[in-house]
Structures are given as C-alpha cells and as structure tokens.
Structure 1
Amino acid sequence: MWWANGCTACGRCCVRRVPSASAPLAEAEIDNLAQALGLSPSRFLAQYAETADFGGAARLKVDETGRCALLTAMGKCSVHEARPAACRTYPYWPENLASPYEWAREAVLCEGIKSSWEPEEPGSVTETARVIEDELLVEELRVGGVLRAENWTHAEAMEYIHSLREAKMPDLDLDPLPAPRKVLFHSQGLVVLETEEQDLPENQSASRQSGVVRSLHFESSIGIVQTEVRYHPEHGFDHDQLMFGVHSAFLEVVKEQAAQAASDSVIVLGGGGGVLPMALQKAALRDRNTAGPFRNIRNIICVEKDPEVAKLGKDFFGMGEGGEEVNVRLVIEDARHYVTPSLSQGAPDAGDILAILVDIAGDLQHSSGGEVLAPCADFRLGDFVRSAVAAVRPDGVIAWNVLVSELGEDRWLQSAVEGIQSAVQDEHFSVVSRGRPP
C-alpha cells in the first residue's frame, strides 16, 4: 500500500510527454497549480503551460526532451502536493498494468513501486484492488474529458467515485480504457508487446497511420527492448523502416563494404525477432533490380541460440526462411560455437563472407552502474574476435552492437573498442567506433 506515502517525488515519471504532460488541465487544476507557485492563473499559463494539439486546452509545458517545466533543477516536482490528476493516478495507468512485465518495467523508472515503506496496518488484498480500481476509474474519467468538463480535481473525481460506490450505482460499470500496449505473448521470461503508433514519419501514407509496433523483451533485461518492427494488418511487416538506429547503422556498414564478388554472405549473430536479416533480404532483393549496393548479397545466415526466441521471430515479427534469389537461413546454435576460423569453408551456404554483424543481447539488467551491458565479454575478446576476423573476406567487416551504461558511457565504449582491438592481431583490420546511432 505504498500509494499513500510511497511516492518519493523523484521526478522520473515527469520526463515523458505521454500521458501526464499531454493531459489537458481542468480550470480547478490550473488554479491549484498557480496557487502552489504563488502566481496568478494567467501568469501560470504563460510560464508553465502550452496549448494542446486538440481542443485548444492548456497542458503542462515540456522541453525538447520531454522534461516537465514544473521540475526543479534537482529533478523534483515543484508542485507535488498540487499535482494534477494525470500525475496523481501514476503509476496506475492501464498500460502499466497490462502484464507483470509491464509493472516490473515501470518499476525500473518509478522509485515508489520499489519503496520499502509500509503502512502501520497493511490493507487487505481486496482493499488494494479497490484502490487500484479507483485510480483507474479516475484515469478513465480524465481521458474521457470528464474531469475537464466538470472542472474536477483528482480529489473531487475520487469523491464522485466513492459516492457512486456508496449508492451502488451502475455508473461504475465504465468501459475499460484500451491499453496502448497489448501483451501478445508472455512466457518463459519472454514478452511480446504490441503498441499503437502515435507519431509516424510525415512521409508515411494515411493507410499506415493505424499500424502498430511489435517489440520483444527479455525479463532478464527489464527496460531493454530487444527487437521492434512496424506491422499493419493490410500491409504486413515493414522491414524498410527500421526502428533501431543500430540496425540502420549495420546496414550502412554492409553497404559501405559491398564488393563486386558474385556471391556475398552476411551473418547476423543474435537473431532476435529476425528484423535485421529480413531488412537485409529486402534491401538485397530491391538492389538486384536497380544495381544498388546490396545487389551481390545472396545468403543471409541468422544465428540464434534460443529456439523459443526464433519461434517468436516467426510467429510475431515476420521472420522467414528461404528465398530463391536471396536466401535466409536460420541456425539454432550458440554463436560462440558457430563462429570458427574455418567458418568460410565449413558452412555449406556461407559463401564469401562479407560481414559478420554481432547483435547479441546481454544478460544484465539495464543498470546505472558503469559497465558494458552487451554483448558479453566472450564476443568482444580473444578467440571469438580472431575467429571472426579469419572467417570474413580480406575486405570484409565485423560490426558489434555494444550497449553500455549511461554512466561513464564514453569510457566504457572506449574500453570495449580497446578490448576488440587487442584481440584482432591482424594489421589489415582496423577497429573504429561509430558512437551512438541516431
């Protein structure tokens, strides 16, 4: 029952526009916020609010990073006791209650969820469920525009709900809010979520505006998205518009190294949902007809050690095998055992290996401590690096997706680069860091 006093006012939930900062404010909320700051309502609106995109309502102003204007320099809420309903209902937003994974993911952000504070007399399970239900009902009234129309604060909306309970009125049978994220799969530490897209690139056609984004998550790495792909019921999977900047960077690396050989192979280590292999196949098929840079790629080998992850790739992310002109082959094997010095001769359809792309997930939680999170050291040091160098063609390339902690990011990235460099032991190979992808 930490909701009563467990909020630490840490401000971490105040750096995202949706849904709190984008919520239209009721006049009563504007008055309360202005009074808390010692300002007139008009001065408050001029300094801390902006016009919403819908209906001309006022909403809290945020900067270009999504940081709420009401946060102090120390990152604390300056009006915590007067905060509006959208903030008070957090973290009981429907999307955070979609599954145990969603709640655990939000706990990475929210100090209150992890708070050790306990009330003197812990409430029963029924009481806990009732409090959560009440907060969800307030959130539904807010999203439905009732709070703004009735000019209610969070406390007044809660009083209304309690009065309905006392009267046992059917008004409480409100339709549940559609969760922005759906849980398509949750088992054995693997989670597949589906999120409705809100802001698409301007060049997207209107028919794609109702699409969704599917994402793969590991419970062992809460807060880290492993794979994302756009999906539309009519148009299928969109492997042209890659969601991860690092995947686009991988394609650029392959594009730069593409040579004139009749048959090139690209090996992707860490298949995940298969988004990167499928994007490579699509680019190669396109360039065969246009004499583009990917035209010589004939084989794409995707190595994934977890058969369950590979199955999710096929079931939810459009991962496919085969192809007459550009073949995609899935290998279920630990990449440490697959990559050997004789790989280019031992793999039956490896052909002339142009690139090895190391996209291996880490096993660590997303941490604020200084460390390299992914890939593990086995893929950055010693035998693996030397085996990969021996396997690719002389003008080939090996690329790593290196995930490091935000604390000391440059230092830990440089550490990873130096480890790879020391293991290369080949004067013809140089190690270059591209930094953070866009």
Structure 2
Amino acid sequence: MMIAVRWAAARWRVKASATTPWRFGSTAAGEAASTSFGNKEEEDQEAWYASEEGGLSFRCTRCGRCCGLEGTRKIHVSDREIEEIARLLGEPETSVREDRVTQTETGHQVLRGKQRGTGEVCTFLHSDGTCFVHERKPVQCRTYPYWPEFLASPFEWRAEGARCEGIGSVQGRVPRQEVRRQLVLETLSRSAREGGDENRLTYGESSDLLEDVGEELLEEFERDFLARNRRQVVAEIGDLVVVDFHGESEDGSARRVLISKQAPWLAQSEASVAPDGSVDLNRVPQRVQQALIASLALVAPREAASSRSSIAQIGAGACVAATALSLRLPDARVEAWDLDERALRLAADHFGAERGACVRLVRDAEEIAGESEIGSHAAILLDVCGVGGGRGEVGEIPPADPFLLPRFLEGAMAALEPGGVLAIHVANPNKEEALQAVASIARPRGLAVRSLALRGEGGAGSDPWLVYACPPHSPKTAEEFAKQLEDGPLRGLCPQITELLLSTPDSFWEVTG
C-alpha cells in the first residue's frame, strides 16, 4: 500500500520537474549526423521522435561509454537498489555500501568510480563493457538513453550520440510508446530523489506499477514535458542554426544557441533571451567565455582602461563575449574575429551585437601573429577548435594544433602591449604539454603562466582549462583573482568564475617547471 501511495504522489510531482537540466557546450564529439531542425514557426508540441519511422533509432552495443563518469555525470542509487545489488552479489549490504557507494556534496548516494585509462568509470563496469549487476541496475542505467535531457529535442538526442554509438543505429528501432514509458520512469525516479527519497522504488517496482497506469496519463505527461522543453529555430544560414531553448529558466528567459548542423553536440555561442525577445547583454552564459573575459583582470592596471588598448577575441562566433566587453569597456577597441562571415551576420541579427560597439572582423586567427600586430593588443582571447578523434571521443579540440606551435605563440605574445595577456582555451587531451608549450615561449619574454581548471564542466572525460600568459605581478592566488574581478569593471560579468575561484581555490595556479 505504501508503495502505491508513493507512486501516486510521484506521478503528479513529475509535472513540476519535467524540464531538462542538460546544456550544450561539452567538447564531446562524434560523427556528424543529419538533423531535422524543423521550421521557424512555433509548432504543435508533437513529440519530435513521433515522426521517426518504426520508432526511435537505438540499439545497445554494450560499448560501456554510458558508464563513464566524466564531468558531472554520476550514477545515483537508492537504498532499495543497494539492497537488490547486495542480494545479487551475495554480499552484505554494509560491504556494498562501504566499497561501492559514496555520497555527493548534496547528500545523494552515488556509485563509486574506478580509474580506467585516462578516465573514470562505474565501479561495476567489466573491462569488456558489460555490467557486473546488469540484472539489478539502478533506474538511471535501465532508462538510458531515454532521459529527459536527451529526449527534449533532436539536438540533444544527436548530441548524446557523440558519446553513445548505439544512438542512430539503423539496426534498432524503439517504439514511441516504450520511449515514453522509459522517460516517465526516469523522471519519476529523479523527482523522488530531488524530494529527498533515498528509499525510492527500484526499476522493477516502478515498472510493475506503471502497468496499472492508463496510456492517456502517460501521453499527458509527454505533452507537458514537450511543452516545457520547447525548442524554436530562430534562423538558419547554411549549416549554421540559431535555436532558442525554452523551459530551463524559472524567469521565463530562453537560452539562444548557435549550432552547426555538422556538430550539433557543440554550442558555438550562447546568449540569454528575455521573455520579450531581447538579448541580455549583461550575461555571458558559457563558463569558458566568462573565463576568457576574466583574463582582463590579469592585465596590468595601467593598461586596462587605456583608450589605446585593443582587445581581440579570436573565434568569436556570435560575439556574445565581445559585445558584452564592448559595453563594459567603452574606451577600449574590442575586436571580434571569426573566419565565418555567416556567424558574424547571425551575431548582428540575433545575438545583439549591433547594440554593442565591438568591431566584427572576418579574419584568420593566424593573422594576430603577423608583423603588423606587434604591441597592439592589451588582451588576446583565443578559442579556436581543431578537429580530431573519433565517435565518442574529443573531436572539437581547442586550440587547434597550429596555435600551440612556437611560431604562432611567439607572434601572438609579440602582439601584446606591455602588461597584456594572452588567454587560450585548452581542451587538449595532453593539457600539460599544451601548458608547457605556452610556458616555454612566455617565460623568456618575462611573462608568468597561470591556469584555471573549469572543474565540473568537462565532456568526454576532461574538464576544459584556460591558460593565461600574463604579467608576473598579476594576481597569483584564486582569492586575489576573484577580488580583482569583483572590484573592477568586469564585476558581475563572470559570476561563475568568481564563484569557482572562491569555492575551489586550487582551480587556479601558476604553471611551473
């Protein structure tokens, strides 16, 4: 009876939690997939996967990639699930808890990880990609990949396909009714967990109870879920698409994202759009972009607000960061460089760039290292990707290899004014080598090298880093860096970076060796 009561309560709680927390922006990669991006008009909230002939394409290949614990991904487990796993293994429950379970900072129970190669995987994953406890897997594992964050739209589904080789498989078709059922089971489990229920139902218990629930109620949930997670295509130019993601914010704002159809897992730019349709130029949503902007707090004070100063963001995309900077630093010349003229056009038309004063330039990043640029920039912010790796591995890797070569680094640092900063987004698998490459050029020029790890941001097994070649007297500790951000003209523009510096001081350090 108590189970039935818990189920009845949970199935209605789901109404308040049917929004997706997942965000574009991880640097996971995979093979480009053709994507149906819909039309620009607001549509009836029919499930996008309803049009998939024969059902949604997926077949588990037991590759084990969904068992990876990279970035913020954790495998949540309830008391009842721990009991089931202990019975299956023939071990005391206390032993399973001690050896296989840990707690998050918020008090939720999760399975421990173990090291495999350069990453971390679930404690129950065999070396051959199979699961020790397959018959009693937690709800989260049983319902994958039919999670709310992946079913909200074809964008998220194909983005997760960068990790999971079974998504898009022509050999497997899952009927819409089954997709809906798994979505409900996963969402109810999350709702119970977020409500503090560590004794929530197992997959088998929930699945049995779901048999008594009418299909109409499940269809109602699906419609509500889709309405709360509406996606709207705002503009398209060739393979570039501007999409508004609704339902993620309590204040009614949407997240506007610039995406390439060839890499739908990667957000090239993000902006916040108010309910009235205006772009909020006081917010820079992406942490990497905030971290690039934050580098200006490392510029020598006498140069920071000079009317002679020029700031170049290279790989600017939709110019969100450059536009915000141009409004905060009206005396500086802020340049937004990108090779793709279409991205700069979309920046003006749909990301508010026309309201700022940044100078949009169709230029190759390598030009910054040219002779004519010597001593002309107070800051150079580099965020340029190169392609590499296979499906499910890092594929959009910043920086591209040429930008770590001595010739480019020497030219870029020569382009800095005295007291200037070169900031580079690094998601290279060999980050230490990248840091040392920058250090080998910076130190002979009298520059210090500092690094910032954006912990918890990573996709495909690694968190992105920022490397800063900066004046030696610039802030050396996280506390000093945060204070400089809060006391200067960038105040409030990099809130996530300020919070990271104060909460995790060891995320910022000086590169030595």
User: Quick check: TM above 0.5?
Assistant: yes
Q: What amino acid sits opposite 2:88 in the alignment?
A: A
The count of residues paired between Structure 1 and Structure 2 equals 384
Q: What amino acid sits opposite 2:287 in the alignment?
A: M
- Cα distance between partner residues in 2 of 1:371 and 1:170: 42
Match of 1:110, SS state, is coil
- Cα distance between partner residues in 2 of 1:267 and 1:281: 11
Which residue does 1:290 correspond to in 2?
none
Which residue does 2:341 correspond to in 1?
307
Q: What's the CA shift string for 1:245-275, capped at 9, x where partnerless?
A: 6414532343567268543222222212323
Q: What's the CA shift string for 1:167-202, capped at 9, x where partnerless?
A: x8533423226379664448544454648779xxxx
CA change 1:298–1:366 in 2 (3 A) is: farther
The higher radius of gyration belongs to: 1
Match of 1:92, SS state, is coil
CA change 1:379–1:69 in 2 (3 A) is: closer
How many Å apart are 1:354 and its aligned residue? 2.6
CA contact (8 A) 1:230 1:238 kept: no
How many Å apart are 1:83 and its aligned residue? 0.8
- Cα distance between partner residues in 2 of 1:105 and 1:115: 14
Q: What amino acid sits opposite 2:181 in the alignment?
A: D
Which residue does 2:436 correspond to in 1?
414
Which residue does 1:264 correspond to in 2?
309
The structure 1 residue matched to 2:145, chosen from 78, 85, 91, is 91
- Cα distance between partner residues in 2 of 1:21 and 1:370: 22
- Cα distance between partner residues in 2 of 1:238 and 1:385: 32
How many Å apart are 1:277 and its aligned residue? 1.5
Query: Does residue 60 in structure 1 map to residue 106 in structure 2?
Result: no
CA change 1:267–1:366 in 2 (3 A) is: farther
Which residue does 1:154 correspond to in 2?
203
How many Å apart are 1:89 and its aligned residue? 0.6
Bigger relative CO (Cα 8 Å, ≥ 6 apart): 2
Which residue does 1:434 correspond to in 2?
450
Match of 1:21, SS state, is coil
The structure 2 residue matched to 1:105, chosen from 159, 162, 187, is 159
Which residue does 1:401 correspond to in 2?
424
Which residue does 2:510 correspond to in 1?
none
Give the 5 Å matches for 1:63-212: 70-71=123-124, 77-113=131-167, 128-143=175-190, 145=192, 153-159=202-208, 170-176=216-222, 178=225, 183-185=231-233, 187=236, 188-190=238-240, 192=243, 194=245
- Cα distance between partner residues in 2 of 1:53 and 1:195: 29
- Cα distance between partner residues in 1 of 2:83 and 2:414: 69
Query: Does residue 6 in structure 1 map to residue 53 in structure 2?
Result: no
- Cα distance between partner residues in 2 of 1:15 and 1:370: 12
The structure 2 residue matched to 1:281, chosen from 307, 326, 351, is 326
CA change 1:415–1:10 in 2 (3 A) is: same
Which residue does 1:293 correspond to in 2?
none
CA contact (8 A) 1:22 1:59 kept: yes
Which residue does 1:355 correspond to in 2?
379
Give unmatched runs, 5+ long, in structure 1. 199-207, 286-296, 345-350
Q: What amino acid sits opposite 1:276 in the alignment?
A: A
Match of 2:397, SS state, is strand
CA change 1:61–1:372 in 2 (3 A) is: closer
Q: CA RMSD in A?
A: 5.1
TM-score computed with the length of structure 2 as normaliser = 0.57
Give the 5 Å matches for 1:238-257: 238-239=282-283, 243-244=287-288, 246-255=291-300
How many Å apart are 1:283 and its aligned residue? 4.0
Which residue does 1:330 correspond to in 2?
360
Match of 1:301, SS state, is strand
- Cα distance between partner residues in 1 of 2:219 and 2:209: 14
CA contact (8 A) 1:341 1:386 kept: no
Match of 1:96, SS state, is helix
CA contact (8 A) 2:162 2:391 kept: no
Q: What amino acid sits opposite 1:60 in the alignment?
A: V
How many Å apart are 1:282 and its aligned residue? 4.4
Which residue does 2:268 correspond to in 1?
226
Q: What's the CA shift string for 1:92-124, capped at 9, x where partnerless?
A: 1132133444223212323544889x5xxx6xx
- Report percent identity of matched pairs: 22
Q: What's the CA shift string for 1:382-406, capped at 9, x where partnerless?
A: 876676566554x264625253432
CA change 1:220–1:163 in 2 (3 A) is: same
- Cα distance between partner residues in 1 of 2:88 and 2:58: 22
How many Å apart are 1:91 and its aligned residue? 0.8
- Cα distance between partner residues in 2 of 1:368 and 1:257: 46
- Cα distance between partner residues in 2 of 1:38 and 1:229: 52
- Cα distance between partner residues in 1 of 2:275 and 2:265: 27
How many Å apart are 1:135 and its aligned residue? 2.1
Which residue does 1:32 correspond to in 2?
84
- Cα distance between partner residues in 2 of 1:220 and 1:250: 31
- Cα distance between partner residues in 2 of 1:9 and 1:242: 29
Match of 1:309, SS state, is helix
Match of 1:356, SS state, is strand
